[in-house]
Amino acid sequence: MKKNITINLSGRLFQIDEDAYEMLKSYTESLRSAFGKQDGGDEIVEDIEARIAELFDELEKNGVAAISIEHVKEIITRIGDPGELAGDNSADEADSNNTWEEKARNAAKGIYDSARERIKGKRLFRNPNDKVISGVLSGIGMYTGTDPIIWRLLMIVLTCFSAGFGFILYIILAILIPEAKTPDERLMMQGIEVTPNNIANEVVDNDNKVHDYGFLRTFFSVIVKLIFGFILGIVIFTIGIVLLSLLLTLLACLTALSLPVSSEIPSSLGALGLTDLYATHPAVIIVFVVSIIALLAIPIYGFIHWLSTHGKPEKKMGIAQKTILIFAWIAAILCMVPTGMRIAREGFAKNNITIESLLHEIDDDNTYKFSYDSLVVTNSDSSKTVVIKTR
């Protein structure tokens, strides 16, 4: 139910709901802005407010308990637009006196007011009655009062020109935005007041609803599903490879940490050339390992939670918990990448081989022989041998 408030208009008290009050407040502010620079403008605004109060009084006499937004709209239509009431000359004068900053501010305010009007009284849900994959973009279209085809085209363009980031964004939104499953959720998605009568109508309408989108929309939906299916296959394959690589890397790190630091056993910190790094900056290796554990554990936990709560809406993961897990996963990536690069750079530097400074000692018919811990360079008749140790 909408909340009613009491207002004082021209010395009279009226009951009015919150949405109607916001519209009335915006209208009176527009009146003051339109007549503010005219002589006697305040008196004109007071006369108009008095007229509005008279019309509100008539509505109360006709049995209206609280003024609704429909009543305010009707009264505004009868009285007229503030710009028309103030006159074209004053409007032109005001426009000429406005600086470009004021014009930009007014334009931004107009866009903001328009957007606020579109989403007023609505809640964001995934739309199950008009979905291509999970109803995310249709729900956004319903929430903003725009055609969902616009959002679908934007998502395809973003996915194609951002190396798949659009698809990742879609998956995140599908996780965070709940689906409108119940009648009251579908009403809130449309911005319709939740009352017993509206719930009953929504149940009947939803049961009798026949989805006939026409050839063009059906064809577009099929194309989008094929594109997203192809991208999903690539993403799943890539994720599988990445998770397997992370698992193998984690096992290698745990093995290296379990061996003596100075050991030359393969896969130990000494063999990998990370002894100095572990001695001076052990946090780098530890953060790297913890990040990999988080990257693997968070999606596994989410999958297990989904399986255990499937079919139990009251036990499903909340928006706050989903958001925390997503940000924790992103933080793990941000920690793993720089520490991993530091570890790789340190290990490469310890095992890098430089031979440029010794090439002048060898004849043109050189042969090169490589072993694990050193580089042996000889000429063809073995008369000269240079051993270059790894640094």
At 281-293, the pLDDT tens digits run 888 889 999 999 9
Which of 26, 60, 86 lies at the terminal end of a domain, its last residue? 86
Same domain (yes/no): 75, 142: no
Q: Is the dihedral of CA 359, 362, 364, 366 positive or negative?
A: negative
The predicted-structure confidence for 52-76, as pLDDT tens digits, reads as follows 888 888 888 888 888 888 888 888 8
pLDDT at 106 over 80: no
pLDDT at 381 over 70: no
Query: Would residue 105 count as lying in a domain?
Result: no
**Separation of alpha carbons 177 and 139, rounded Å:** 9
* 309, two tokens: 């709560």
Query: Would residue 270 count as lying in a domain?
Result: yes
For the segment 163-180, the average pLDDT, to the nearest whole number, is 83
pLDDT interval class at 12 (50, 70, 90) = confident
- Note the pTM of the prediction, 2 decimals: 0.47
Same domain (yes/no): 322, 258: yes
- Single-letter amino acid code for the residue at 259: L
The count of structural domains within the chain is 4
The predicted-structure confidence for 185-205, as pLDDT tens digits, reads as follows 888 888 887 777 777 777 777
* HSE, side-chain direction, 13 A CA sphere, residue 100: 0
**Separation of alpha carbons 375 and 46, rounded Å:** 96
Q: Which residue do the tokens 């109360």 mark?
A: 60
Same domain (yes/no): 360, 344: no
pLDDT at 380 over 70: no
pLDDT at 374 over 70: no
**Separation of alpha carbons 70 and 67, rounded Å:** 8
Sorted by sequence, the CB contacts under 8 Å of residue 180 that are 6+ apart come out as 125, 126, 127, 128, 139, 186, 188, 189
pLDDT of residue 287: 92
49-58, 109-118, 172-181: which range is least confident on average? 109-118
165-174, 291-300, 330-339, 373-382: which range is least confident on average? 373-382
pLDDT at 98 over 70: no
Same domain (yes/no): 296, 320: yes
pLDDT of residue 209: 59
pLDDT at 368 over 70: no
> Is-contact 78 55, C-beta < 8 A?
yes
Query: Would residue 332 count as lying in a domain?
Result: yes
Same domain (yes/no): 236, 346: yes
> Is-contact 70 23, C-beta < 8 A?
no
pLDDT at 109 over 50: yes
Query: Would residue 96 count as lying in a domain?
Result: no
**3: which DSSP letter?**
P
pLDDT interval class at 84 (50, 70, 90) = low
Query: Would residue 14 count as lying in a domain?
Result: yes
Same domain (yes/no): 162, 193: yes
Query: Would residue 46 count as lying in a domain?
Result: yes
pLDDT at 359 over 50: no
Same domain (yes/no): 254, 150: no
Same domain (yes/no): 258, 319: yes
pLDDT of residue 373: 46
Residue-number span of the structural domain to which 311 is assigned: 230-350
Same domain (yes/no): 365, 346: no
Query: Would residue 156 count as lying in a domain?
Result: yes
Same domain (yes/no): 309, 377: no
More confidently predicted of 311 and 223: 223
pLDDT at 264 over 80: no
Same domain (yes/no): 22, 82: yes
pLDDT of residue 322: 82
Same domain (yes/no): 245, 343: yes
pLDDT interval class at 362 (50, 70, 90) = very low
> Is-contact 133 225, C-beta < 8 A?
yes
